[in-house]
Amino acid sequence: MEFEELRQLFRDVFPGSSPPECCRAPGRVNLIGEHTDYNGLPVLPMAIAQEIRLAFQPRDDGRITLSNVNPAFPTVAFQNAPKIPASAAGSWENYCKAAVQGVNAALRPARLAGMDVLVSSTLPMAAGLSSSSALVVACAMAYLRAVGVRLGDDLSRLALAELLADAEHYVGTRGGGMDQAVILNAVEGNACKIDFFPLRMENAPLPDGCAIAVCDSTVKVNKSGEALHRYNAGPRLCALATALVRRQLHEDFGEEVELDRLGDLWFGPLCLTHAEAEELCMRAVDKPRMTLAAIAARLGCPPEAVRTRWLGDLPEPPDGFPIQARVRHQLTEYRRVEMARDALLAGDAESFGALMNASHESCAHDFEISSPELDALVEAARDAGALGARLTGAGFGGATVSLIYEEDAGAFIPAVTEQYYRQFLRRTGTPPIFIAQPGPGADYVA
Ligand code: ADP
Ligand code: MG
């Protein structure tokens, strides 16, 4: 829905209101650097043209009412408060509650304002394009207006991105900070390499003539609903790996060494080289698989404590947890992101594509976040002439990204349609593929 129509509709949905303001927040695709952000390791995404659009109007009484042009999402209202009770897992209003509570906690506004909000979207949901974070960012931007905070003046975009990365944990998904950072800071025409703790961004355009083909596998994954546990397995095993590495450092140095996440190995007081970090990690996690009993023995605590602190209710595979492979993905993916940034700066499409291919293999075999559909779709994209192709986002379903020459799109789309959608999925109709160029970040709309 265009903004003019959205403004009109707002006045029907909220009768008696004055003309609303509007804002927009785009989705994103990650080009390389998967499941690295929550470890404090870099990523390289770009914003896309599809977006969440909001019309909104502040209120004085602290009441927040959310309405949606999509009838699948019922209108909900709740009272603003320092601690807002969450709705059932998977409920759409939780993304707005996350934003409001996060802004409250970080900025402590003098008055907990309310707002009427009408949501519209051109961004497919649960397709790995980060509709969740786009919704969180858009709601936060609306709420900032309600509490009189000017984005870019009173609060930087980087600071808002950082606080919203924490805030989105409210919905139960333990994501890192990539999505909010790129959604808020993307610059049209550029992909961006993002580093964390502290958040830093560097822009780089795609190689000349190139575009990103985004293909939806059509397998939906709701990361705060039924797929929550599969998604959170990555962060949990990485946090456990961090504890094992910390233990190793303790043994090496005979004293406690601060290590909040794997990425801290390269930064901060340790400042290891890649080779040193790899050597240390492979000593800390020296077996392909570790049972709960072996992990507990290594950490010197009871198995129940390992569950409470790190693993939660993650089921134990018969031959133990594959922690070493998870760590290997982090180590190799970090290197690939650095090389991918260099390839972009050099305009080297072939190298960038080869790194995307290698990233997919690592995601599939070492991090185990692929699926038969994603593997088949990536293969179809490569067969159709992509310079590189990989899953993007959380994995298990959602979309793939392929680097192509834009002039080849006319041949790429029918070839992938035939091999994946027709033959593999036995599906007819318009294929869910779009060709993307890096778009601009979120903004208010005059
Ligand atoms: P992704 O971020 O990959 O799109 P998630 O599972 O993280 O997938 O988030 C999808 C959820 O975000 C949806 O189930 C819904 O609750 C919420 N959401 C996204 N877009 C909208 C929208 N336009 N209207 C209402 N809720 C939305
Ligand atoms: Mg999401």
- How many CA atoms are closer than 13 Å to the CA of 135, on its beta-carbon side? 27
Tokens of 191: 């992909």
CA distance 416 to 398: 16
Contact predicate 68/118, CB 8 Å: yes
Q: Write down the pLDDT at residue 66.
A: 98
> Coil, strand, or helix at residue 120?
strand
The residue ranges of every structural domain in the chain are 3-204+439-445
Q: Write down the pLDDT at residue 368.
A: 95
Q: Write down the pLDDT at residue 224.
A: 67
- What are the phi and psi torsion angles at 144 (to 5°)? -60, -40
Cβ 136 under 6 angstroms from ligand 1: no
Tokens of 438: 């890096």
> Which residue among 6, 87, 135, 169 is best mutated to probe the pocket of ligand 1, counting the most ligand atoms within 8 A of its Cβ?
135
Atom from ligand 1 closest to the CA of residue 68: 24
> Coil, strand, or helix at residue 373?
helix
Contact predicate 236/314, CB 8 Å: yes
Q: How remote is the CA of residue 182 from the centroid of ligand 2, in Å?
A: 13
> Which residue among 132, 136, 168, 169 is best mutated to probe the pocket of ligand 1, counting the most ligand atoms within 8 A of its Cβ?
132
In the chain, the percentage of residues whose pLDDT exceeds 70 is 99
Closest ligand (CA of 393): 1
> Coil, strand, or helix at residue 330?
helix
Mean predicted confidence (pLDDT) in 305-327: 95
CA distance 333 to 362: 8
Residues 125-134 have pLDDT tens digits of 888 899 999 9
pLDDT band at 220 (very low <50, low <70, confident <90, very high): confident
Query: Which residues lie at CB < 5 A from ion ligand 2?
Result: 132
Confidence check: pLDDT of 228 > 90: no
Angle at 168 between CA 370 and CA 246, to 5 degrees: 70
Cβ 223 under 6 angstroms from ligand 1: yes
Q: How remote is the CA of residue 385 from the centroid of ligand 2, in Å?
A: 29
CA distance 352 to 349: 5
CATH class of residue range 3-204+439-445: alpha beta
Cβ 330 under 6 angstroms from ligand 1: no
Residues 16-67 have pLDDT tens digits of 989 999 999 999 999 999 999 999 999 999 999 999 999 999 999 999 999 9
Atom from ligand 1 closest to the CA of residue 121: 23
pTM over 0.85: yes
Amino acid at 436: A
Cβ 67 under 6 angstroms from ligand 1: no
Q: What is the mean pLDDT of the chain?
A: 96
Q: Write down the pLDDT at residue 267.
A: 86
Q: Write down the pLDDT at residue 223.
A: 62
> Which residues does the annotation mark as catalytic?
179
> Coil, strand, or helix at residue 99?
helix
pLDDT band at 232 (very low <50, low <70, confident <90, very high): confident
Mean predicted confidence (pLDDT) in 298-326: 96
Cβ 120 under 6 angstroms from ligand 1: no
Residues 57-100 have pLDDT tens digits of 999 999 999 999 999 999 999 999 999 999 999 899 999 999 99
Find all residues with CB under 8 Å of 63, minimum gap 6, and list them. 77, 78, 79, 80, 114
